[in-house]
Amino acid sequence: MSETRGLIEVADALFGGAMTTAAAAIAGRLMWHSTQVRSGRRRFFGRELLWELPIAIGMAIIGEAVAAYLGLDRTVSTGVVASLAYLGPRGAEALLTRVLFRRKDI
């Protein structure tokens, strides 16, 4: 019986882990960019789109570090990267602040 493989496992096998992580980060930033376009805050092919690439790369590095620290497997790690890339630096900061500084008396 053959083993069923998911999208991330196939992408890892075809392109390698680094390319899969980069693709996940770019997909996360494009999802966020698309919501900005839909709400009328941006044009799809505007100058702002160029700034998304360094953000995606930075969030990929951060996401992989977080996933490694938490000991997550490759599939979950890729999901963490895409999620953090979607949130971006400000969203990740807000999430981290909420997690680290949540009140204990609630």
**Entry pTM:** 0.78
Instruction: Let me know how many helices (H) and strands (E) the chain has, helices first.
Output: 4, 0
Task: Give the position of tokens 């963490």.
Answer: 80
Q: Is a pLDDT exceeding 90 seen at residue 95? A: no
Round to whole Å and give the CA distance between 4 and 68. 25
Average pLDDT, the chain: 86
User: Cα–Cα distance between 106 and 91 in angstroms, integer?
Assistant: 23
Supply the pLDDT for residue 49.
84
**Among 42, 79, 75, which Cα is nearest to 63's?**
79
Rounded to 5 degrees, what angle do the CA atoms 99, 31, 67 make? 40
Give the HSE-up count for residue 92: Cα atoms under 13 Å, Cβ half-sphere: 20
